[in-house]
Amino acid sequence: MSDASNIARSLRERFSGTTEEHLGKALSDLLENPLLTGAIGRAFDARGKAAQAQEVALSALNIPSAADIERLTRRLRSVSHRLEGIEDGVDRLDRGLSPGGVEARLAVIEEQLRALMSKLDQVARLASAARVQAAPPAAAPAPKSPRARTAARKTKPAKKTAGKQKQTARKAKPKRV
């Protein structure tokens, strides 16, 4: 039986090699034939015209064609994708505006403001300490011009008595906070 199978195998190999070559040559000859290529071209044109006629007939009967259904399907997919994007955006907004989310964000902002205020206080303290250390000793007042000296002599500072100061202190109302 092995001899019969070997013979069949060798025959198949011989025929398949030559058959493929013969088929390839025959197909290339057919495709090079202008009569056949013209017929194939006319057949495709007739198919296109038949599809157009079918579409016109279906539209006359108010029945959607396959192209209409395909176009509608693409539009529905586009609307669906847009709607999903809108839903995602609304979900993000909802998460961001939830009561716990806003309060948590405000708490974080308040904490950051407190930290900034403490840093500003430290900077202000350091700046005032630097000013005190860098302040020059008090110098004698600069001599005034002759006009300024005479004007200073003519004006006298107003004197208040201790009684008047007490009365104005009583009249002043404490401010409410």
Give me the residue label for tokens 């090079």.
Answer: 32
For the whole prediction, is pTM greater than 0.75?
no
What six digits make up the tokens of 87? 């839903």
14 lies in some domain: yes
Q: How many residues does the chain have?
A: 177
- Assess whether 72 and 56 both reside in one domain: no
Q: Clarify whether residues 46 and 84 are in a common domain.
A: no
Indicate whether 21 and 52 sit together in one domain. Answer: yes
Residue 13 sits in the same domain as residue 45:
yes
Structural domain contains residue 36? yes
Residue 51 lies in a domain: yes
Report whether 25 contacts 33 (CB < 8 A): no
**The pLDDT of residue 55:** 84
From first to last of its 177 residues, what are the pLDDT tens digits of the chain? 567 777 767 766 666 667 778 778 888 888 888 888 899 899 999 999 998 898 888 889 988 888 889 999 999 999 999 999 999 999 988 887 777 777 888 889 999 999 999 999 999 988 888 887 776 655 555 556 666 666 666 655 555 555 555 555 555 555 555
Looking at the domain assignment, is residue 167 inside a domain?
no
Note whether residue 114 is domain-resident.
Answer: yes
- Structural domain range at position 81: 68-97
Cα–Cα distance for residue pair 30/33, rounded to 1 Å: 5
Does residue 120 lie in a domain region? yes
Q: In this structure, are 18 and 38 located in the same domain?
A: yes
Domain count, the chain: 3
End-to-end CA distance of the chain: 117
Q: Give the separation between CA 173 and CA 123, rounded to whole angstroms.
A: 36
pLDDT at 79: 97
Q: DSSP letters of the chain?
A: -HHHHHHHHHHHHHHHHHHHHHHHHHHHHHHH-HHHHHHHHHHHHHHHHHHHHHHHHHHHTT---HHHHHHHHHHHHHHHHHHHHHHHHHHHHHHHHSHHHHHHHHHHHHHHHHHHHHHHHHHHHHHHHHHHHHPPPPPPPPPPPHHHHHHHHH--PPP--HHHHHHHHHHSPPPP-
> Is residue 116 one of the residues assigned to a domain?
yes
Same domain flag for 46 and 15 = yes
Greatest Cα pair distance, the chain, in angstroms, is: 148
